Amino acid sequence: MLTVKNLTVAYDDTPVFSDVAVNFNAGKITGIIGPNGAGKSTLIKAILNFIKVRKGNVDYNGQSIKSVQKQIAYVEQRKDLDLNFPIDVFDLVMTGTYGKLGLFKNPGKLEKQASHDALEQVSLNEFSKRQIGNLSGGQLQRVFVARAIVQEAEIIILDEPFVGIDLQSETAIMNILKQWRDENKTIIVIHHDLNKVTKYFDDLVILNHGIVDFGPANEVYNSKNIESAFSADLSSVLFQEKEGVQ
Amino acid sequence: MTSIIEFFNALGKYDFLQSALLTAIMVGIMSGIIGSFIILRGMSLMGDAISHAVLPGVAVAYMLGINILIGASLFGVLAALLIGFVASRSKIKTDTSIGVVFSAFYALGFILISMAESSTNLHHILFGNILAVSDSDIMTTAVVLGIVILFVVTFYKELLVTSFDEVYAKTYGLNVQVIHYALMLVLTLVTVSALQTVGIILVVAMLITPAATAFLWTDKLGTMLILSAVMGVVSSMTGLYFSYTFNWASGPAIVLVAALLFALSFIFSPKQNFFKLKRSVSR
What CATH number matches the domain at B2-268, 1.10.3470.10, 2.40.30.30, 2.40.160.20, 1.10.10.60? 1.10.3470.10
What is the reported pLDDT for A246? 44
Sign of the alpha-carbon dihedral angle for A90, A93, A97, A103: positive
Q: Strand (E) positions, chain A?
A: 2-11, 14-24, 28-33, 55-60, 63-64, 72-75, 155-159, 186-190, 203-207, 211-216
- Give the 3-state secondary structure of residue B251: helix
Are the beta carbons of B166 and B176 closer than 8 angstroms?
yes
Give dist(CA B228, CA B261) in Å, integer.
11
Tell me the sheet residues that pair with A14: A11
Provide the H-helix boundaries in A52-94: 89-94
Question: What digits encode the pLDDT tens for the residues A147-181?
Answer: 999 999 999 999 999 988 999 999 999 999 999 99
| Distance of alpha carbon A152 from alpha carbon A73, whole angstroms | 8
Under an 8 A CB cutoff, do A107 and B157 touch? Answer: yes
Sign of CA dihedral A204, A207, A213, A218: negative
How many residues appear in chain B? 283
User: How far is Cα B188 from Cα A60, in angstroms, rounded to an integer?
Assistant: 43
Note whether A173 contacts B: Cβ–Cβ < 8 A: no
Rounded CA-CA distance A141/A169 in Å is 8
Domain boundaries, chain B: 2-268
- Distances, alpha carbon B130 to alpha carbons B29, B136, B137, B244, in Å: 16, 14, 10, 10
Q: What is the DSSP string of A8-28?
A: EEEETTEEEEEEEEEEE-TTE
Q: How far is A51 from chain B (nearest CA, A)?
A: 12
Residues of chain A with pLDDT under 70: 241-246
Give pTM, 2 decimals.
0.88
The parent domain of residue A113 ranges over 2-245
**Residues on chain B touching A107 (C-beta within 8 angstroms):** 157
A215 to chain B nearest CA, in Å? 27
* Complex ipTM tops 0.95: no
Q: Count the domains in chain A.
A: 1
Q: What is the CATH number of the domain that holds A176?
A: 3.40.50.300
Angle at A236 between CA A234 and CA A239, to 5 degrees: 105
Q: Is A131 on the interface with B (CB under 8 A)?
A: yes
Kindly report, residue by residue over A21-36, the tens digit of the pLDDT: 888 999 999 999 988 8
Helix, strand, coil share of chain B (percent; to 5): 85, 0, 15
Q: DSSP letter at A88?
A: B
Distance from CA of B119 to the nearest CA of A (A): 44
Evaluate whether B196 touches B204 at the Cβ level (below 8 Å): no
Low-confidence ranges of chain B (pLDDT < 50): 280-283
Name which of A183, A113, A176, A182 is nearest A148 in CA terms.
A176
